[in-house]
Amino acid sequence: MLDPSPSIISIVLFGAALLVLVLDRVRSQGSLPPSLRYLGALFGLLALADWFSFSVAIWIMAFFAFLALREYFSLLDLRLEDRWAILAAYLAIPFMVYFIFIDWYGLFIISIPVYVFLVIPFLAALGGGEGKGIVYSIGALDFGLFLFVYCMGHLGYLAFFSVRMTLLLVMSVAVCDLLCRFLPLRNPVIRFLTGAIIVCAGAWALSPWTGIPPWHSLALGLIIPFMVQAGHFTLRAIESDLGVRPDALEPGRGLVLDSLKAYLFSAPIVFHYLRWFLGWGDILR
């Protein structure tokens, strides 16, 4: 673990997250975006994890991955015969968490894109039926596992090494996410530059607290805004195909997916960037 003891910054961040959640409960209709509910919960629980242990953070990631996967499946037109494959998809979450918890990087990195991706088609075929629609089911199940479990799992593995680096990622993604949603910056280049300036400044200032060298903090300030925009662009198309309406978001009808979509592209990229340049590759064997 790279985290030092809890600091006043963690306390301030937890207080900010708690304030967001309180405002969400007492807000008037439409005064706060509903995605802030999940952002505040994720942020506050990670701040608590900085006080206690990594175990708190990793099960937080597992819970959010489960919520996203469940909502995604509820939006799909899956067959009754896919029930065993769906069960295997849910069971992949605790197995992935276990590999992170025991620091088995080699199996974590191939567990879903190799083994689970082979088990899902087998169980879908084992479910019986005439086979009609099985190709759609396999593709939809494997894609959901990759995006909402595997990519979120990288956020959990980052927390294994530093909850504070994970908090920096969440903060940076939140800033870029808000720029994408609520500021009248239609030009993606201007939106990227605005996000990059804010994230670079914040990451540089918090470098002594996170343990990320300053120049790498600046690099992340360029990577994160780009990946957040890529995630928004991609998930917007997916949500449209699933029938999710941005003006009618609610739990079970796209709210969780919409709240987490900014993290799905940025989490694995940031994790592997830090793993490579901070020498974690020598640790993760």
pLDDT in tens, 170-190: 888 888 888 877 765 567 788
Identity of the residue numbered 19: L
Per-residue buried b or exposed e for 66-98, using 16+ beta carbons within 10 Å of the residue's own CB: bbbbbbbbebbebbebbebbbebbeebbebbbe
Q: Tell me the average pLDDT across 34-55.
A: 71
Alpha carbon distance, N-terminus to C-terminus of the chain: 16
Q: Tell me the average pLDDT across 98-124.
A: 91
Half-sphere exposure of 183 (CA within 13 A, CB side): 14
Q: What is the pLDDT of residue 164?
A: 82
Q: Tell me the average pLDDT across 92-121.
A: 92
Mean pLDDT (the chain) is: 81
Q: pTM of the predicted model, to two decimals?
A: 0.84
Q: Tell me the average pLDDT across 128-135.
A: 77
173 close to 271: Cβ distance less than 8 angstroms: no
Number of CB atoms found within 10 A of residue 234's CB:
14
Residue 47 confidence class, pLDDT cut points 50, 70, 90? confident
pLDDT in tens, 209-241: 888 999 999 999 999 999 998 988 898 888 888
pLDDT in tens, 8-26: 566 666 666 666 656 666 6
Q: What is the pLDDT of residue 282?
A: 47
Cα of 8 vs its chain's centroid, Å:
25
For residue 125, give every residue at least 6 positions away whose Cβ sits within 8 Å of its Cβ, in sequence order, or none.
Answer: 131, 134
